[in-house]
Amino acid sequence: MKQILDFNISNSLLNISFEGDYLLFSNDNAKGKVFALIKNNLQGIVLSAQALGKWDSTLLSFIFEIEKRARELSIPVRYNAFPDGLINLINLAFSVDRKPSPVDTGKAGLLESIGSWGVSVYHGIKSGLSFMGKTFNAVFRSMFGRVVMRSLDFAAVLEECGYKALPIVSLISFMVGLILAFVGAVQLKTFGAQIYVASLVTIGMTRIMGAIMTGIIMAGRTGASYAAVIGTMQVNEEIDALKTMGINQFDFLVLPRIIALSIAMPILTMWADFMGMLGGGFVGVVMLDIPLQKYWEMSVAAITLNNFFVGIFHGLIFGIVIAVCGCYYGISCGRNADAVGTSTTKAVVSAIVWMIVMTGFITLACEVLDI
């Protein structure tokens, strides 16, 4: 049916009638004339649709604009023979607050700020302890084979945090050993004791530096990956799907990553120790003219089981810390892309901070136990 838009003013009333099918209504000339008639001197507007056929959102948009202009001028609008669906859509359009009242952003007082901080810390500690409890429960149940963990997932995670991390760990550890040798040589050369560079690098790398550098690398590489992957699953509602199917998310997502990184970190730490010693040897032999045989003998003599196992234990603890931080912030991620980035950042920062804290505890324990 042909579109017919009839409008006139009678007794200070603007009468507008719609006839025919209003599909893809785009008569801007007619619209302009109608809008020009909506003035303060009108007593009301009457919209009639006795002969209205099919319609779409273009008609709704036109009527919305008429109603909007009428409301701005406090002109009443009356609808005659309009379809219920169209009336409902018009009412819905005006029921939404398009200009919500501004949120009070006044600065909180000192006591309120302290209270908010305290509540935030309490909820953070509560959430963290709950996560740790569920994680340790999954680890305990895994000892008896009562977990939902696929060997394929575990192998994939172990591969990702295992040999694929060797190139970056090798490069950084080699450079750290090289730097340790340079720094030590500056002072040792003063006393003509360059030969002890070998002992310095060996003890430093095996006891602490190898584990710390590997931990920092893996926190930025693997910890961030854990948070991003699990966080993206949270955004895509894949974790909700696991819960719906009755699959424990800690068994399926957290446990494989913790076990894999706990296995990989001590091995990577040993490799980092070797690469660091190799870097120190490069400086000692090439730059300080220490005979290769003598450097090797001094390095072997400096290696003790205490230092070696302390470094390996550091690596094990760091692996658990990195995996827990990455999985925790992934599980607690929000539902948007920005939340994934925030969770990834928090996972890396928290892992590094907790590694330093654990290093302090382990060092203190070694000092007390004379290890």
Q: What is the pLDDT of residue 148?
A: 79
How far, in Å, CA of 8 to CA of 13, rounded?
Answer: 8
- Amino acid letter, 256: P
Distances 30 to 34, 37, 200, 366 between C-alpha atoms, Å: 6, 11, 89, 88
Q: What is the pLDDT of residue 198?
A: 87
Question: Does residue 133 fall inside a structural domain?
Answer: no
pLDDT surpassing 70 at residue 99? no
CA dihedral 85, 91, 97, 99 (to 10 degrees): 100
- State whether 183 and 267 are in the same domain: yes
Question: Does residue 126 fall inside a structural domain?
Answer: no
- State whether 169 and 60 are in the same domain: no
Q: What is the pLDDT of residue 320?
A: 93
pLDDT surpassing 70 at residue 96? no
- Residue that terminates a domain, selected from 79, 95, 111: 95
pLDDT surpassing 60 at residue 98? no
Cα 23 to the center of its chain, rounded Å: 46
pLDDT, mean over the chain: 87
Question: Does residue 317 fall inside a structural domain?
Answer: yes
Three-state SS for the chain is CCCEEEEEEECCEEEEEEEEEECCCCCHHHHHHHHHHCCCCCCEEEEEEEEEEEECHHHHHHHHHHHHHHHHCCCCEEEECCCHHHHHHHHHHHHCCCCCCCCCCCCCCHHHHHHHHHHHHHHHHHHHHHHHHHHHHHHHHHCCCCCCCCHHHHHHHHHHHCHHHHHHHHHHHHHHHHHHHHHHHHHHHHHCCHHHHHHHHHHHHHHHHHHHHHHHHHHHHHHHHHHHHHHHHHHCCHHHHHHHCCCCHHHHHHHHHHHHHHHHHHHHHHHHHHHHHHHHHHHHHHHCCCCHHHHHHHHHHHCCHHHHHHHHHHHHHHHHHHHHHHHHHHHCCCCCHHHHHHHHHHHHHHHHHHHHHHHHHHHHHHHHHCC
- State whether 72 and 220 are in the same domain: no
What mean pLDDT comes out for the span 158-163? 88
Higher pLDDT, 84 or 353: 353
Question: For the chain, what is the domain count?
Answer: 2
Task: With CA atoms as reference, report the closest residue to 236 among 336, 342, 157.
Answer: 336
Q: What percent of the chain is predicted at pLDDT more than 70?
A: 96
pLDDT surpassing 80 at residue 112? yes
Where residue 97 falls among pLDDT bands split at 50, 70, 90? low
Question: Does residue 67 fall inside a structural domain?
Answer: yes
Q: Over the stretch 263-304, which tens digit does the pLDDT of each residue have?
A: 999 999 999 999 999 998 888 888 888 888 888 888 888 888
- State whether 154 and 80 are in the same domain: no
Where residue 102 falls among pLDDT bands split at 50, 70, 90? low
Q: What is the pLDDT of residue 352?
A: 94
The domain spanning residue 38 has which CATH number? 3.30.750.24
| The model's pTM | 0.69
Question: Does residue 306 fall inside a structural domain?
Answer: yes
Structural domain range at position 356: 147-369
- State whether 82 and 198 are in the same domain: no
Task: With CA atoms as reference, report the closest residue to 31 among 16, 48, 51, 53.
Answer: 16
Q: Over the stretch 199-225, which tens digit does the pLDDT of each residue have?
A: 889 998 998 899 999 999 999 989 999
- Residue that terminates a domain, selected from 54, 76, 95: 95
- State whether 177 and 296 are in the same domain: yes
